[in-house]
Chains A and B, each alone.
Chain A
């Protein structure tokens, strides 16, 4: 083949190759075109191989010419391949279109019991104020449930009509209040003390929408030097505001408990109407939330703490009552029936 023919062949090949590449409409076609040109038996490969038969003086020039064409073809191929790949991806993605509004595939989560939830909220607030969580037995003696709590022997709460007694001895009962934990903690640990004690308590009461023979309380106790009634007010107001996440006003109303003196009921401005009066607070604007007071000197003395050196305050609240208020539950029995239609609302 003459040099001229060869040059022409190369030129022809360039134009036919570029046109074939441009026409290739799929990655497979394009690959076939590439093989036909650049593969082992490809046309250009054949031409390049034929160069050895050329005159030595012509070889570099023709070789360079062929190489330029080869590079052009390769570049055209790459560009076409990129374009085809992109359109391939585009159509593949389009085919994968989903109804993104359709529901997610989930494994349903369970629900934490509302009493657990409110207990954790209460404990967390007090924990942040430096109160430790303490614990005590439910099966208690009348000493811890009554005597140590300054409750006189003739107090009506001691009656069988109010308190459950057990087969473990005449003095062994099911505690009717978590205040028992106060005493055990004070007996075991020297002041200063800050504890909260959640727990189950029992009272001999007929079952109805408001009462159940067992329920739950959280008890709190703070003993230190120079603890005042003002600190009781401050601490519990801070607690109420943290629990309801609102700057609610509180009011402390005088009341009577055997183990605290002075004693108070804490009313909070109703968090549901901000004190304006609503169904939850019975239009009063205030909700009675917990009982509290300064620890009675007799209680301190009984637990081995000198009331002239130390003073303190205690408080107690009912989980059910708080949960009923917070969630608007109207019947206490819901908490122990464990109906999923109830539990799943929390």
Chain B
């Protein structure tokens, strides 16, 4: 909302001794944030003085420019000033801008600083000013050329003192416009008078009121048009409606006193009558509407809901399709306006209007808001109704506007204001609240007396009465009855008016912290960043076409912003694939990203609970969907020459490293890898990591969906399916993993020390051959099974098995390095040979392995 400081100052509260910065600062710190202050009108900087032209000479170097000698102070030597205007004559009194002044560039309105300078080789010590250069050329009455204050022989000439401030003389004073952020709960302050009340209270100054008297223009007998009553469909939609007939109006040009103020706050003047309805709306916060009485034909005007399919052309000449959620103003039954939002085209006043009806009403905040949203139409009026207008003040505003219309817009003499028609009630009952001074002390830690409370609250219209010991009885004014309903609301007002700054900053006592911060995520970030992956944050709102979506458990947004933000994701992988494609498109070669975030599934255990339940424990225990914390990563190396490879085993290594860093045991007796099938991944390059036994806790995370449907699965690793990659424009092989962070968190183990053996260890390399026939026959020959068999058959003295190489030609040859150690005694070569022999025999027996001589 824009508010003119000049308007406030001349009509409502004397601020003449304060700068606009002081007023803005006070308002900002008093809950009405001033976002900016703009200058309206000329912002001249001095010195601009009254001067007299003593001589005029031709400029030696230019035809159209002349050289004057102008006196700017009685008794002083006249100054040489060059002037290009043609209307100057010796003896004229004119405004002169001296060096250091800032006037207006008449070509573009920008500030024009005046300096002593040479113009075509002749020194000029200032500038003779035109009206435009003084910023007062808003109408043409000053004409072209230099503004002549008095001609040579004018009798007025003696009234001017040379050297006097021309700005003061011409009353050139800029107005400052404060842009105040409207407060959703403070409709009462969305106008000059309301804001003035706040300012008066904040500065502790008296509030003024403009004086006017409607009675002089009232004529109960004045009859206008055909309407003789007003009626309401229901008083919830519209608690109060008033219509004032005004007879003998001449619609004409804007009234300068009115339009000047409207222009200052950015409201376009329309005509004298409409300007007044706008003026009063900005002054008192009450939207008003003037109808041309001749364009209405019913006997009554009223308010009702629109019927489905009903149409109306609004003032902006758009045809509006209406629904029963929209409230209408009707002429008998004919729609003539959308109540509280915008009037209709057909009953608009025009040049030929002579009689009008002036409507002022109070409409339901919720209905106006809903209607405004539905129609996609908001106006200064709807903005105010949405924030609540005070029903008790409606008629006052109507009378104010009627007065101004009668006063300024009469066809011959003042117009006549007829008897108002009203429906509903504008009576508001008193609301009293009790304020305990002890409660102020308890929350704000400040001591206030009853007297202080009265001092603070009275200027805002509250009536403070003494109550029983330490308690005050406070009457809330009608315009604050929506936002001040409890003691705490009064405490807030006291806090605000007394100043937030007046409360000393202290620290709370005691320390409460029941539980240490979970470090799983921070540890994981550290490990992954250490391995060269960067963290991504992807959108959790995804398109329906996203890979791997399970429709049955999908959480859908019913009112999405766009198709791209329609569903909640069920996997982190698609977001990372998008990010990969984005980066490859922009020329990145190596892309390594990870993300930790939630995935969402419709709850398969129970329907959405009724959250209105009164049992807090029960209510807060219930969730509406499964929200599961996952961690996923993607890597891709587009540069084939690079030494940093990125293949399936790179990604698997990153995952294994990460899990080790999180203290998850990857020992064969704890977890296993198994070939897995995951939508969107390569069918033969994907493995799931699963616990060997069901988890003790966290089993409630069983997603039921996809690979995580198995509660033992911690995560998977694999290659993006070539056709998925192709669809995403990714030409390279890309690898991903995704793990369930909640399950991982539950499996993390605290480190535990085991004794370090001092006996020497012995190492044997073992190459195991599998023939082509064996490989074809047996599909259980893989690393994990080989290692497990070796470990099982190598006794407890076999402490480590590492894969050294795999060589594949006709058959396959796996070389493993076996480490033997007995912590309590040194093993002999013979003992180790026997252990290796047993390993070999088991491998031969169970996996049909053979060994070279």
Q: Which of B185, B492, B529 has the most CB of A within 10 A?
A: B492
Docked-complex contact B611 and A141, CB < 8 angstroms: yes
Interface residues of A in 164-186 (CB under 8 A from B): 164-169, 171-172, 174, 183-184
- How many chain A residues touch B (CB < 8 A): the figure is 92
Of B449-457, B619-627, B723-731, B755-763, the one contacting chain A is: B619-627
Docked-complex contact B623 and A254, CB < 8 angstroms: no
A115 surroundings in chain B (CB, below 8 A): 537
A344 to B373, CA, bound (A): 43
A204 surroundings in chain B (CB, below 8 A): 559, 561
Docked-complex contact A256 and B184, CB < 8 angstroms: yes
Docked-complex contact A139 and B185, CB < 8 angstroms: no
Asked if B297 is at the interface (CB within 8 A of a chain A CB), the reply is no
Asked if B40 is at the interface (CB within 8 A of a chain A CB), the reply is no
Asked if B644 is at the interface (CB within 8 A of a chain A CB), the reply is yes
Of A50-58, A75-83, A127-135, the one contacting chain B is: A127-135
Docked-complex contact A340 and B506, CB < 8 angstroms: no
Contact with B along A144-165 (1 / 0, CB 8 A): 1000000000101001110011
A264 to B627, CA, bound (A): 33
**Cβ-closest chain B residue relative to A124:** B517
Indicate whether A336 sits within 8 Å of B505 (C-beta atoms), given known contacts A226-B442, A229-B443.
Answer: no
A255 to B492, CA, bound (A): 10
A144 to B509, CA, bound (A): 29
A112 to B525, CA, bound (A): 7
Docked-complex contact B619 and A338, CB < 8 angstroms: no
Asked if B853 is at the interface (CB within 8 A of a chain A CB), the reply is no
**Cβ-closest chain A residue relative to B633:** A110
Indicate whether A230 sits within 8 Å of B185 (C-beta atoms), given known contacts A110-B532, A141-B624.
Answer: no
For the complex formed, measure the closest distance between the CB of A136 and the CB atoms of chain B, giving whole angstroms.
Answer: 9
Docked-complex contact B373 and A109, CB < 8 angstroms: no
Asked if B667 is at the interface (CB within 8 A of a chain A CB), the reply is no
For the complex formed, measure the closest distance between the CB of A202 and the CB atoms of chain B, giving whole angstroms.
Answer: 7
For the complex formed, measure the closest distance between the CB of A7 and the CB atoms of chain B, giving whole angstroms.
Answer: 56
Indicate whether A231 sits within 8 Å of B506 (C-beta atoms), given known contacts A253-B33, A335-B537.
Answer: yes
Q: Which of B31, B442, B522, B624 has the most CB of A within 10 A?
A: B624
Docked-complex contact A154 and B366, CB < 8 angstroms: yes
Docked-complex contact B532 and A224, CB < 8 angstroms: no
B687 surroundings in chain A (CB, below 8 A): none
Interface residues of B in 527-567 (CB under 8 A from A): 528-541, 554-561, 565
Asked if A140 is at the interface (CB within 8 A of a chain B CB), the reply is yes
Of A23-31, A39-47, A192-200, the one contacting chain B is: A192-200
A304 surroundings in chain B (CB, below 8 A): 616
Asked if A98 is at the interface (CB within 8 A of a chain B CB), the reply is no
Docked-complex contact B535 and A110, CB < 8 angstroms: yes
Indicate whether A200 sits within 8 Å of B528 (C-beta atoms), given known contacts A234-B505, A261-B488.
Answer: no
For the complex formed, measure the closest distance between the CB of B579 and the CB atoms of chain A, giving whole angstroms.
Answer: 4
CB < 8 Å: which of A169, A294, A339 contacts B582?
Answer: A339
Interface residues of A in 306-332 (CB under 8 A from B): 311
**Cβ-closest chain A residue relative to B555:** A166
For the complex formed, measure the closest distance between the CB of B67 and the CB atoms of chain A, giving whole angstroms.
Answer: 43
A296 surroundings in chain B (CB, below 8 A): 488
Asked if B721 is at the interface (CB within 8 A of a chain A CB), the reply is no
Docked-complex contact B529 and A110, CB < 8 angstroms: yes
Docked-complex contact A188 and B617, CB < 8 angstroms: yes
Asked if A287 is at the interface (CB within 8 A of a chain B CB), the reply is no
Asked if A237 is at the interface (CB within 8 A of a chain B CB), the reply is yes
A113 surroundings in chain B (CB, below 8 A): 534-537
A318 to B268, CA, bound (A): 38
A227 surroundings in chain B (CB, below 8 A): 508
Asked if A111 is at the interface (CB within 8 A of a chain B CB), the reply is yes
Docked-complex contact A262 and B491, CB < 8 angstroms: yes
A311 to B443, CA, bound (A): 8
Contact with A along B623-644 (1 / 0, CB 8 A): 1110100000000000000001
Docked-complex contact A194 and B541, CB < 8 angstroms: no
CB < 8 Å: which of B31, B525, B530 contacts A116?
Answer: B525
CB < 8 Å: which of B495, B534, B583, B619 contacts A110?
Answer: B534
**Cβ-closest chain A residue relative to B578:** A338
For the complex formed, measure the closest distance between the CB of A19 and the CB atoms of chain B, giving whole angstroms.
Answer: 50
Docked-complex contact A253 and B500, CB < 8 angstroms: yes
Q: Which of B29, B594, B611 has the most CB of A within 10 A?
A: B611
Asked if A94 is at the interface (CB within 8 A of a chain B CB), the reply is no
For the complex formed, measure the closest distance between the CB of B755 and the CB atoms of chain A, giving whole angstroms.
Answer: 34
Asked if B518 is at the interface (CB within 8 A of a chain A CB), the reply is yes
Asked if A297 is at the interface (CB within 8 A of a chain B CB), the reply is yes
CB < 8 Å: which of A142, A294, A344 contacts B534?
Answer: A344
A174 to B509, CA, bound (A): 36
For the complex formed, measure the closest distance between the CB of B590 and the CB atoms of chain A, giving whole angstroms.
Answer: 8
Docked-complex contact A168 and B608, CB < 8 angstroms: yes
A74 surroundings in chain B (CB, below 8 A): none
- How many chain B residues touch A (CB < 8 A): the figure is 96
Indicate whether A338 sits within 8 Å of B579 (C-beta atoms), given known contacts A138-B600, A200-B598.
Answer: yes
Asked if A247 is at the interface (CB within 8 A of a chain B CB), the reply is no
A205 to B561, CA, bound (A): 7
CB < 8 Å: which of B509, B556, B616 contacts A166?
Answer: B556
Contact with A along B595-610 (1 / 0, CB 8 A): 0011010110001100
CB < 8 Å: which of A110, A188, A234 contacts B592?
Answer: A110
**Cβ-closest chain A residue relative to B536:** A338
Asked if B833 is at the interface (CB within 8 A of a chain A CB), the reply is no
Docked-complex contact A303 and B616, CB < 8 angstroms: yes
For the complex formed, measure the closest distance between the CB of A228 and the CB atoms of chain B, giving whole angstroms.
Answer: 4
B612 surroundings in chain A (CB, below 8 A): 143
**Cβ-closest chain B residue relative to A142:** B611
Indicate whether A213 sits within 8 Å of B565 (C-beta atoms), given known contacts A139-B625, A304-B616.
Answer: yes
**Cβ-closest chain A residue relative to B492:** A262
Q: Which of A113, A202, A214 has the most CB of B within 10 A?
A: A113
Docked-complex contact B560 and A133, CB < 8 angstroms: no
B525 surroundings in chain A (CB, below 8 A): 112, 116
Asked if A108 is at the interface (CB within 8 A of a chain B CB), the reply is yes
Docked-complex contact A297 and B488, CB < 8 angstroms: yes
Docked-complex contact B495 and A262, CB < 8 angstroms: yes
For the complex formed, measure the closest distance between the CB of A147 and the CB atoms of chain B, giving whole angstroms.
Answer: 8
Indicate whether A156 sits within 8 Å of B369 (C-beta atoms), given known contacts A338-B538, A343-B536.
Answer: yes
Docked-complex contact A339 and B445, CB < 8 angstroms: no
Docked-complex contact B559 and A160, CB < 8 angstroms: yes
Docked-complex contact A192 and B616, CB < 8 angstroms: no
Q: Which of A131, A156, A194, A338 has the most CB of B within 10 A?
A: A338
Closest 7 CB pairs of A and B: A254-B31, A141-B611, A187-B620, A338-B579, A130-B511, A233-B505, A338-B536
| 30 A-B contact pairs sorted by A residue (CB < 8 Å) | A109-B529, A110-B529, A110-B534, A110-B535, A111-B529, A113-B537, A141-B608, A167-B558, A168-B625, A172-B624, A183-B620, A188-B617, A200-B597, A200-B598, A204-B561, A213-B541, A213-B565, A230-B445, A234-B506, A235-B508, A253-B31, A254-B30, A254-B495, A254-B496, A254-B500, A262-B492, A296-B488, A335-B537, A337-B579, A338-B583
Q: A107-B532, A141-B624, A156-B369 are in contact. List 13 more A-B contacts (CB 8 A).
A: A109-B529, A111-B529, A130-B512, A139-B568, A165-B559, A168-B602, A228-B443, A229-B495, A235-B507, A261-B492, A262-B444, A336-B537, A339-B582
Q: Which residues of B contact A (CB under 8 A)?
A: 28-31, 33, 183-186, 365-366, 369, 373, 386, 442-445, 486, 488-489, 491-492, 495-496, 500-501, 503-515, 517-518, 522, 525, 528-541, 554-561, 565, 568, 579, 582-583, 586, 588, 591-594, 597-598, 600, 602-603, 607-608, 611-612, 616-617, 619-621, 623-625, 627, 644
